Amino acid sequence: MGERTVLILPGAGDPPSVWSLVGEAVNRSGVRCEILEYPMKGANAKPQPTSIEEYAAWVLGEMDRRDLSDIVIAGHSMGALIALEIGSKRSQRVAGLVVMSPAEPLFVHPSLLGSAEDDPAEAASMIARWSYSRNSRESLSDRIALHASKTTALEPGVLATDLHACNNYTNASAAAAQIDVPTTVILSGDDHMTPRSAAVPILENLSGAETHLLDGAGHAMQHERPQDVAAIIVAAAGSPSKIDSIGTT
């Protein structure tokens, strides 16, 4: 197996920096890792996709533009839906998938959708409250505040567009049934945004997927268990993991 590139697809409203801990750990292991910056999430001012299907088409276009091949796509939450959609297209550039915190449907609470449209700061606060396990909220308070500030700093409408894209997507299980590359699924035991039960329809349609449970972690696994997530991603890329990992099976 040759060297592969891991391409991380963040969740709704997340800039690449939210995944920096995982990305740095994967790169240190010797596996090349890039964290994709979506339109309107930083310096990229291109028009924002408005659906998961549009996001998948945009990511495939970026892969072509960058001439990336032999890629393991690692998507989280909204990024997980995008990864499933891309996997169903059977692109020759895609060697494998890591699907983190998927859900069908990825239901977004109406109060969060409303706040994302009318009061993004409150929406960012809600996401911060719901994304972390109770055990992490005090120890990771600085990281949680930084995460919320990055979400609040988005242009008006950007977060709401992402959340509506998640809420409206209905093709996850059908896409999963079309995937023919090795797939790893990572779930969190204390996830209040995308509960494990919501992943069942997807898992039932994924053929031979390897599943890991981060017991006690919340939705923000990239902040609560970055070393474990990185170790699983490195293994999925076909490289002997050089990252200590505990509690991932």
pLDDT per position as a tens digit, 153-182? 888 899 999 999 999 999 999 999 999 999
What is the pTM assigned to this prediction? 0.93
The label of the residue with tokens 């409408």 reads: 157
HSE-up of residue 191 (Cα within 13 Å, Cβ side): 26
8 A C-beta contact, residue 178 and residue 211: no
Residues 55-86: tens digit of each pLDDT: 999 999 999 999 999 999 999 999 999 999 99
From 114-123, 208-217, 233-242, the region with the lowest mean pLDDT: 233-242
Which one, of 24, 117, 36, lies nearest residue 75 by Cα?
A: 36
Domain 5-108+168-236: assigned CATH number: 3.40.50.1820
Give dist(CA 246, CA 214) in Å, integer: 9
Mean pLDDT of the chain: 91
Residues 125-161: tens digit of each pLDDT: 999 889 999 888 888 888 888 888 988 888 889 999 9
User: What's the token pair of residue 157?
Assistant: 């409408």
* pLDDT value of position 13: 92
| The pLDDT of residue 205 is above 60 | yes
